[in-house]
Amino acid sequence: MALANQEQDSNKCSISRLVIGAPQGRSGKTTVTLGILRALSRQGYQVQPYKKGPDYIDPSWHSAAAGRLSRNLDPFLMTKEEICRSIALHSCDCQFSIIEGAMGLYDGLDLEGSASTAELAKMTGSPVLLVVDATRITRSTAAIVMGCQHLDPEINIAGVILNKVARSRHEKIARESIEKYCRVPVVGAIPKDALISIPDRHLGLITKGEVDETEDLLEHLADVICEYSNISDIMSLALTAPELKYVPKAEFLSISGYQQKIKNMHTPRIGIIRDAAFSFYYPENLEALESLGAELIPFSALTEEHLPEDLDALYIGGGFPEVFAEQLTGNTTLRQEICTAGEGGLPIYAECGGLMYLGRSIIIGDNKHDMVGLLPLDTKLEKKPQGHGYTIMQGTENNLWFNQKKIRGHEFHNSRVINLDKTKVEFGFTIEKGSGIDGNYDGICYKNVLASYNHIHAIGTPSWAEQMLKLAHQYCEKRWEKREKVAGE
């Protein structure tokens, strides 16, 4: 049976899919999702994982569990058409698609629940598997599930997994109450302590690459799901998803005619710092650059002493530079080369952790760690978040990437900028929503550098990639003109 066949030139496709939601955060959505992904994968199914909302860490675990690159679906950053098209594009060769929600099912930006997991489920017509933390409740689980059913009757609560069940009597009362009063099947009941928790840090779960024996953990989660839930019933719930309606498009990204123009131009080399310190990159951001003809050159700021040769631009994503501050400081040669390149006009786009890295230092407690020193600022790590959530920002006229454009993004940082010399730089954004650097502004513009706490997603902001390529081409042309001039003297 073909579960995900897509007819050519059709605006509908059959994709078996399921949203994993919960009444509240920390109910076990991520561990249940990982267990389901690995269980389906090891049974030979191709399963496409997704994460609702802005998140880099959970998708990295999804990818490891499914053996397939996880994608983000975000109703704030993307339109309904963009979300459905992304699912159609990336799930068309899969048997199942699993979408992990965020926070509580109905938790969104406002009273209407905008950008919530429920809104995403409604946009995509996906049934919901609700994970309910059953700690110290029995019959009341039915009231919780019924509340999720009736708050918005258009949301299809297709099944329930009980988590943290104490003993058989506890499970029996909770299961029978839900099935009697809510008429929803309970497809799993997981004992408390059966699912191992993934350790936390100040920005959420630690990244997949930092946990020893990751495979053993994922296999354990799959074993738990298979032992304490009915994986066949879970698959059946996904099969009830209606055909997905989407708008076909010749190009996935909304790129202008500039793409055709650059085909006969030099292939720009864009460096990407990718290591344990800088790992926050949306796949679509990198794919957008490649779709325009860029050659991406990944390298590590932790282990490689020199910049790759002949770079035309540099992209530094977010991550945890504060955790690896000593190693970053110790790589003196690379820090100096990045500073020299930036002073020489190399286009550099840096988000959050990248901003921290380009400053003079990162201050953690009483310790000060030297960084690149390209930007006249220091960052200080605090115990509580200094910015957290979605953003709406207006690019200033000094912003080379988003000149006077309004963009949507997100931020999540525990550091704050201090000792900023405003006489040497310009701000890149005025803030309509968010915290940024000082509550009013975000983004530091210096020469061809833009460094900010704000993160963007290329599906919702496709012009970002095009501008990166334009700046890279301009820099390349100037660099070759300079070389030719020197050679002619």
Distance CA 336, CA 299 (A): 16
For residues 406, 411, 413, 419, the Cα torsion angle rounded to the nearest 10 degrees is: 0
Query: Which domain-ending residue is among 245, 277, 299?
Result: 245
DSSP 263: G
How many CB atoms within 10 Å of residue 458?
Answer: 22
CA distance 20 to 131: 7
**Does the model's pTM come out above 0.85?**
yes
Helix (H, G, I), strand (E, B) or coil at 201: strand
Q: Are residues 174 and 95 in the same domain?
A: yes
- Say whether both 267 and 331 belong to one domain: yes
Residues 333 and 235 in one domain: no
pLDDT of res. 247: 85
Four-CA torsion 370, 371, 376, 377, nearest 10 degrees = -80
CATH number, domain with residue 369:
3.40.50.880
Residue of 148, 352, 445, 476 marked catalytic: 352
230 and 347 part of one domain: no
Residue 227 inside a domain? The answer is yes
Residues 61 and 150 in one domain: yes
Structural domains of the chain, count: 2
Name the stretches of the chain with pLDDT < 70: 1-10, 197, 199-212, 249-265, 484-489
Q: Tokens representing 140?
A: 């009341």
Helix, strand and coil content of the chain, in percent to the nearest 5, comes to: 35, 25, 40
pLDDT of residue 260: 44
* 78 and 100 co-located in one domain: yes
Whether 169 maps to a domain, the answer reads yes
* Of residues 68, 95, 82, the one with CA closest to residue 14: 95
User: In which order are the strands placed within the sheet that holds 47-52?
Assistant: 71-73, 47-52, 96-100, 17-21, 128-133, 157-165, 186-191
Token pair recorded at residue 385: 């978040």
> Range of 155's domain?
12-245
Cβ neighbours around 139 below 10 Å, total: 13
User: What distance in Å separates the CA atoms of residue 381 and residue 368, rounded to the nearest whole number?
Assistant: 10
Q: Is 408 helix (H, G, I), strand (E, B) or coil?
A: strand
Domain boundary (199, 224, 245) is at 245
Asked whether residue 489 is domain-assigned, the answer is no
| Same domain, residue pair 423 and 475 | yes
In a domain, 252, yes or no: no
Contact 82, 123 (CB under 8 A): no
Strand partners, 380: 363, 416
How far is 319 from 250, CA to CA, in rounded Å?
34
**pLDDT at 312 (0 to 100):** 97
Q: Are residues 150 and 280 in the same domain?
A: no
Residue 418 located in a structural domain: yes
pLDDT at 255: 44
- Residue 209 is predicted with a pLDDT of 56
Note the pLDDT of residue 212: 59
**Are 33 and 101 contained in the same domain?**
yes
Tell me, yes or no, whether 1 lies in a domain: no
- What does DSSP say about strands 244-245 and 12-13: parallel, antiparallel, or unpaired? antiparallel
Q: Is residue 78 part of a domain?
A: yes
d(CA 227, CA 223): 6
Q: Which of 390, 395, 383 is nearest to 410 (CA)?
A: 390
User: What is each CA distance from 308 to 57, 174, 456, in whole angstroms?
Assistant: 27, 59, 25
336 falls within a domain = yes
∠ CA 306-307-310, rounded to 5° = 130
User: Is position 339 annotated as part of the catalytic site?
Assistant: no
CATH value at residue 70: 3.40.50.300
* 219/102 Cα distance (integer angstroms): 23
Write down which residue in 245, 278, 301 finishes a domain. Answer: 245
Indicate if 331 and 284 belong to the same structural domain. Answer: yes
Of 24, 40, 97, give the one whose Cα is nearest residue 218.
Answer: 40
240 shares its domain with 264: no
In this structure, the answer to whether residues 167 and 203 fall within a common structural domain is yes
Instruction: Tell me the CA end-to-end span of the chain in Å, nearest whole number.
Output: 71
Residue 242 exposed, middle or buried by CB count within 10 Å (0-12, 13-18, 19+): middle
